[in-house]
Structures are given as structure tokens and as C-alpha cells.
Chain A
Amino acid sequence: MYKAILVAYDGSTAAAHAFHSALELAERLGSSLGVVSVAQLPEPPTMVETTAILDLAKTHYEKDFKRLRVDAKARAIELQTHVAVGHAADQIIHHSVEFKADLIVMGHRGGSRMKEWLLGSVSKRVLSYAPCSVLIVR
């Protein structure tokens, strides 16, 4: 049913839940599994801060990816990981197309109304614009 599943992973507990749901689904359906994490840069970016954020994001997510790979290996699934740069929803959608995913799995963080009003909800944007099915894990 789903040949390629992409998990949007931001290191939160909700994202970890989403990853494990996707792992289970991939095992049952024999799907390939990818994880994308997004390093968001400030606006407008400045040089030294940008490289600092990229450095930190790479180190932080690579550490998480190692753990996720172990979990995936235990179920005989080869995990592909990727750290993208840019706006979270844009990059998740862009990489779902690149991964040819037919399902995006992501966690729901439930941010405050104020934050949602100011910055918008990533999951809502992905739901609105994704070219494939989207599963929001609560």
C-alpha cells in the first residue's frame, strides 16, 4: 500500500512516537523508510550564526539518527536520513517528493495558540500542501 514512508523528525517526544509508528507500518508493509529533519535558519540569516546553526543541527540530528538507525535495524529496515535546511513545512514537502514518499508521518506537538498564530503550524501546512497522504501521530 505504502511503498515509501517519510518521517518528519524534530527530536521531540511527539516525533519519536511518529517515528516508531512509521517503523511499525514500514515493517508490516515492507516499505522503505526515510527520516528528514529540518534546520531552520533565522531571518535574515547572518553568516557566522548560520554556520553555527548548521553545525549544531548536524551534530544534534546525527546523534539522534544513530539511535533511530539502531531501532530500524532491529526490524531489518534500512533507514535513510537527511538534514535539510530551510522552512520546516516546505522542506518536508520537498523531500517527500524527492523521496517519492506516498506517506508522510509526523508528530503533533500542540504548540500554544499564540505561537501557532505567529509562526503557523508545520503539520497544518504539510497537511494542506503535501502531494501524498499524511499521518499525524498524537
Chain B
Amino acid sequence: MTHVWAQASLWLALALVATLLSIWFRIATALSEIVVGTVAQLVIGALVGTAALGANESWITFLSGTGAIVLTFLAGAELDPKVFRVKWKEATVVGLIAFFSPFFGCAAIARYVLHWGPQASWLCGIALSTTSVAVVYAVMLELGLNKTDFGKAILAACFINDLGTVIFLGLVFAPFTVRTLAFVVGCLVVFPLIFWLTPRFFRWYGDRPSELEAKYLLLLLFGMGAVAAWADSEAVLPAYLIGMVLAGTVGKNHLLVRRLRTLTFGLLTPFYFIRAGSLVSVPVLLATPLIFLVLLLAKMATKFVGVYPITRALGYVKQEGLYTTMLMSTGLTFGTISALFGLNHKIITQAQYSHVVATVIASAVIPTLIANAFFLPRYLLPRQSEGAPAAGESTASPVKSGQLNTISE
């Protein structure tokens, strides 16, 4: 066991360094952990040997996989069913097109421009089809757009987009055998059942120090993950769907969600993101930077081609359409999950993985910067001057001197 404890210490030391860096530089912990993983692999690899970090040891792979599953579940549980019910038509159209356009476009560019194999190209399409719900949500909160119909529809569309990514990741590489059918049928039986049972079960036996809720949810996630893996699908697919199914019940239990976050951020996701970073090859990125540029442009261009016309067709004015398009070109967590899935299942090579992850990271930052600098629909922001709002403006009420709005979440 000495070896395992020593390795665990090393990984948690890296996690601690990554967390400190994220606090000092105010960057996302996930991004910090990916970068620390990449640098650690470079340095430790040069000093001791590439095996020292042990990124492929079974217990590290297990913790890392559990991190991805629980993180995906929590992301699904963030869905606001009320908003979705109100804006489902608009959200579904924008979300599906925001998924399909980069999925087909990036896959085609990977296949015919970069000459990647068919499977690798599909994986690339999936990884670059994502939209970061968090980036969109943060921008909406910052500008107060989350209260507008426009903001609500875009947020709901992001969930649909990610749902497309997760479903395709789970099914495109599945062999479509009887097992796949059994998995789909299993989902159709289990999801309505847990929707009915979970809140009741928690009411009967929950809120005790024995943490029944966490054990129940982990059982669900591992159980459905096992069925998905048995069907040669991906465990994050049922995790995201379970999160969405339980969003209106478990997702509203803030104490439980907080306890799950502690488990996730404290132990699981550091292993996931540091591992994801440690598998990135910096020499490959430095040797072929054009591939990264092609993929980043491909993602932004295909999102533009798909999302912009549909926003105009839905009646958004030019500025709103461009802003929505840019925000929906972002992505981080699901992009990384898809890329790592591809590498683990030998669908993509380490070089291809490095390019996809670098593109995913860049796509989390660059489109938001462009959107806020050039395409911000300022007229949708809560009014700051008196007078009647012009046509198409927000209906946010004017504020008297000395009056603040309520908390903007």
C-alpha cells in the first residue's frame, strides 16, 4: 500500500497547488487542474519518468471516472425545469442546431481537412459540439440577462445542446447490439421510477448522519454507469440524464447538493482534471499549432453557421443573434469529458486528444471575450436612465434614486 499512499499524496499535493493557483489567479479550478496536470506530467516525466504520476493506475482511473460521473450528474441537476417548460420550443430548436452544426461541421473538417480517421472525426465533432452552460450562465448573471426571456431561453438551449453531446457520446460509438437495446429500455424503466421514488425515499429515510442520500445517488450512478459500460456506451450519459430527471427534487435540496459538491471537489474532480491534463502532450501542441487553430476556427464557424440564422429566424435582432452565437461557441467540462472518453477507448490518439483538449480550453475563453467586446446587446440590460423603454427593450423597471434590485441570481 505504501506505493498507493505515496501516489495519492502526490496527486493531492498537485490538487492543492492547482486550487491555490485558481484562488490567486481567479481561474476555474478545473482549468487550473488541467494545466497543473499537464505541467506535472512534463516535469515529473523529465525528472523521474512518465510512469511516476501513474495516470493509468486502476484506482486513479476509478476516482477520475467517478469524478466525471458525479460532476455530470450535478451539472444535469442544475437544470431549472420551470424555465425549460416555459421556453422549451425555442430552447429545443436553438439547442439542437447548436449541437448538430458543430458536430457535423467539426467532424467533416477533422476528416477531410486534418485527415483524421472516421471514428476520431466523429469524436472530434462531439467534443467540439458542446456549449458551456456555466460560461453562458455567468455572463447572464453578470449582466442581469438571466431574468429576461432572452436569457432564460438561451440557458435552456445550452442544456439541450449538452444533452445532445452526452447522448451522442453514449450512442455513436456503441455497437448497437441487444445490450444497447437493453440499456435504452433500462433507462426508460429506471428514470420514471426514480423520479417518483427518490423524493419519497429521501423524505422517509433522509436527513440522518448516515448520509443515506449520497449512498443512494452513488448507487444509482454506479449502477446505471455499469449498465451503460456493459452496453459499450458511456457512464456519463445516464449520469447527466439522472441529474436532469432529479433536477426538480434533489437539485432543489441545497444541503444535499453542497455535501455532494464537497465530495466532488475535495476528492474526485482533482483526479479527473489532473489526469485529463497529464495526458495532454505539450510537444505535440508546439509542433503542430495549426491543427489547434483549425479546430478552434471550425468550432466557432460551425456554431455561427448553425446558431446565427436560427436566432434571426426566431426573431432575435442582429446584436442578440450574434451575442447568442458567440456564447454558444463556448465549452469546457463536456468537451474534456468527450476527449478523455475518446482517448480511453482508443478512438483518438494522444496527439489528437491534445489538440481537442487545447481547443476546448480556448473555446471556453475566446468566444466570451469576443461576445462581450463586440456583440453585447446593451439595450437588453436593466435600464439605467429614466424614460419610457424603446421598442424591443427590456421591461426591467426603472430604478428610483437609492433603490437597489433584489439579489441578481
Q: Do A and B come from one complex?
A: yes
Binding site for B on A (CB under 8 A): 3-4, 31-34, 36, 40-52, 54-55, 58, 80-87, 90-91, 95, 97-101, 115, 118-119
Once the chains are docked, how many angstroms separate the CA of A36 from the CA of B27? 23
Partner-contacting stretch, out of B85-93, B199-207, B399-407: B399-407
Interface of B is mostly: helix
Is B333 an interface residue, CB under 8 A from the partner? yes
Known: A4-B402, A44-B364, A82-B407. 11 other contacts (CB 8 A): A41-B141, A42-B29, A44-B28, A48-B265, A50-B138, A52-B265, A80-B404, A86-B143, A97-B384, A99-B404, A101-B402
Residues of chain B within 8 A of A90, CB atoms compared: 142
Kindly provide the distance from the CB of A89 to the nearest chain B CB, expressed in whole angstroms.
13
Question: What are 25 of the A-B contact pairs (CB < 8 Å)?
Answer: A4-B402, A32-B401, A33-B402, A36-B404, A41-B142, A42-B26, A42-B27, A42-B31, A43-B31, A44-B27, A44-B365, A44-B368, A46-B29, A46-B132, A46-B333, A47-B75, A47-B78, A47-B133, A50-B137, A52-B258, A52-B261, A80-B404, A85-B138, A85-B409, A98-B405
A115 and B153 CA atoms in complex are apart in Å by 38
Residues of chain B contacted by A83 (CB below 8 angstroms): 407-409
Contact B409 A32 (CB under 8 A): no
In the bound complex, residues from chain A placing their C-beta under 8 Å from that of B24 are 115, 118
Interface residues of B in 50-84 (CB under 8 A from A): 71, 74-75, 78
> Contact between A45 and B134 (Cβ–Cβ < 8 Å)?
yes
CB-CB nearest in chain B for A42: B28
Asked, given contacts A51-B78, A83-B407, whether A98 binds B402 with beta carbons under 8 Å apart, the answer is no
Chain B residues, CB < 8 A from A98: 382, 384, 399, 404-405
Partner of A50, one of B22, B134, B364: B134
**Interface size class, chain B:** 35 or more
From B25, B27, B264, A48 is in contact (CB under 8 Å) with B264
A85 touches B26 (CB 8 A): no
Task: Confirm or deny: B215 has a beta carbon within 8 angstroms of a beta carbon on chain A.
Answer: no
Is A58 a contact of B409 with CB atoms below 8 Å? yes
Q: Nearest chain-B residue to A44 (Cβ)?
A: B364
Residue among B78, B141, B402 facing the most chain A CB atoms (10 A cut-off): B402
Residues of B within 8 A of A100 (CB): 399-403
Are B75 and A58 neighbours in the complex by a CB distance under 8 Å?
A: no
| B405 and A47 form a contact (CB under 8 A) | no
Q: Is B407 within 8 A of A119, CB to CB? A: no
A82 with B401, Cβ < 8 A, contacts A42-B28, A43-B27, A47-B75 known: no
Q: Are A99 and B403 in contact (CB under 8 A)?
A: yes
